[in-house]
């Protein structure tokens, strides 16, 4: 009779401390921030300004992208330099809806967006067919990045393209898409893109209450994606992903086909970026092809590297650290920002391979060891 081998019980979604931190973050997003912004007087020391709301809201969108990058790079070993494309596709899907919401309030008082009137277009192109429906827009925000990622990933992973070659191809993909969207005849506004948004669901988009609503939705989405990512990584699916990252050949010899696992997490990651882009556009008030630039995709990878890959919370912290530094440096020392970003990436690669989270863990371990020796 063969001995019964018991499988290890699945790890909890979060520890007790983790759930406490999660609830604190949820309360800050849903209660504290709205009160500080909407109810506390502007002259008070505790008032959260509209600028602060917009800045943190944008960074939370970036954090969703960083979390998506961690799923494919940190846990699966696939470095993408093209995730800015999926972010922009979700943003364009939302931007098309917002442009239709302008209605007759545009400069030309036409049902067509202003840029189409300027270019002497007589009717909407076919890909704008469902742009006036919010429900259809929600579907497209997820479906368009997901379909693009699935098709690209299927052929790339089936051909067993990996490593630096895959990274270069993803960078070429987003660069090609950027050049395509720059063309006026594509119907996406050319180099100016979409801007001058008026309403969302027939509600003015520039009001403090709508700004705070978008902020709260972004925070809840980020926290929800974090829980989803934890669940995925703690599952059997997540363990196979990590095995693919560490030794893909052994995974194949064990009877698993890595194609399905890599393609699934790649598509999920792209859809997460699409949602982030859709939340980003109404908060910043513009979307144009520059969001697809390879530099933006590289910056997403830097957020994950700075925070710490394969930690989930690390890339979120990395997005806040790097984007916060960018917001300050581009105002105080704009000519040094790119040098700082390059130096930061090199420094993290050489001296902090596990990122900020890894550094904190090492310091905590060292402190615990010293306290143990003293005892």
Residue 7 in this model has a pLDDT that exceeds 70? no
User: Which pLDDT belongs to residue 9?
Assistant: 67
> 199 has which bridge partners?
204
Do β-strands 199-200 and 203-204 pair in parallel, antiparallel, or remain unpaired? antiparallel
Mean pLDDT, range 2-24, rounded to an integer: 80
* DSSP 8-state class, residue 206: T
pLDDT tens for residues 33-84? Answer: 999 999 999 989 999 999 999 999 999 999 999 999 999 999 999 999 999 9
Residue 375 in this model has a pLDDT that exceeds 70? no
User: Which pLDDT belongs to residue 371?
Assistant: 76
pLDDT band at 115 (very low <50, low <70, confident <90, very high): very high
Mean pLDDT, range 3-21, rounded to an integer: 78
Mean pLDDT, range 180-192, rounded to an integer: 95
Residue 23 in this model has a pLDDT that exceeds 90? yes
Would you list the domain boundaries of the chain? Answer: 22-352
- Six-digit token pair at 203? 């509600």
What is the value of pTM for the model shown?
A: 0.95
Q: What are the DSSP calls for 67-80, one per residue?
A: HHHIIIIITT----
| Average pLDDT value over all residues in the chain | 93
């Amino acid at each position: 009779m063969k001995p019964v081998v018991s499988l290890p019980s699945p790890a909890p979604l979060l520890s007790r401390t983790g759930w406490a931190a999660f609830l604190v973050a949820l309360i800050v997003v849903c209660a504290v921030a709205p009160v500080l912004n909407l109810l506390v007087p502007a002259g008070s020391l505790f008032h959260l300004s509209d600028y602060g709301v917009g800045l943190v809201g944008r960074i939370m969108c970036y954090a969703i992208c960083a979390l998506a990058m961690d799923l494919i790079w940190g846990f699966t070993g696939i470095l993408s330099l093209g995730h800015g494309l999926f972010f922009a596709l979700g943003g364009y899907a939302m931007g098309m809806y917002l442009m239709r919401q302008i209605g007759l309030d545009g400069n030309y008082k036409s049902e067509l967006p202003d840029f189409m009137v300027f270019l002497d277009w007589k009717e909407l192109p076919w890909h704008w067919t469902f742009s006036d429906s919010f429900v259809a827009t929600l579907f497209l925000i997820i479906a368009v990045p997901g379909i693009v990622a699935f098709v690209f990933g299927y052929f790339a992973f089936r051909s067993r393209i990996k490593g630096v070659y895959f990274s270069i191809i993803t960078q070429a993909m987003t660069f090609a898409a950027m050049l395509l969207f720059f063309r006026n005849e594509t119907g996406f506004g050319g180099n100016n893109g979409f801007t001058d948004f008026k309403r969302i669901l027939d509600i003015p988009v520039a009001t403090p209450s709508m700004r705070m609503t978008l902020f709260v939705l972004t925070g809840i989405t980020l926290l929800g994606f974090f829980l989803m990512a934890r669940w995925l990584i703690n599952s059997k699916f997540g363990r196979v992903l990590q095995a693919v990252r560490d030794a893909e050949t052994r995974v194949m010899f064990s009877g698993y086909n890595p194609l399905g696992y890599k393609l699934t997490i790649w598509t999920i990651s792209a859809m997460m970026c699409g949602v982030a882009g859709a939340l980003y556009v109404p908060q910043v008030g513009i979307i144009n092809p520059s969001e697809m630039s390879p530099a933006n995709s590289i910056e997403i990878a830097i957020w994950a590297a700075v925070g710490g890959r394969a930690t989930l919370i690390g890339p979120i912290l990395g997005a806040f650290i790097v984007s916060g530094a960018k917001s300050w440096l581009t105002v105080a020392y704009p000519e040094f920002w790119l040098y700082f970003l390059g130096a930061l990436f090199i420094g993290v690669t050489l001296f902090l391979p596990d990122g900020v989270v890894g550094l904190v863990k090492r310091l905590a371990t060292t402190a615990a060891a010293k306290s143990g020796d003293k005892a």
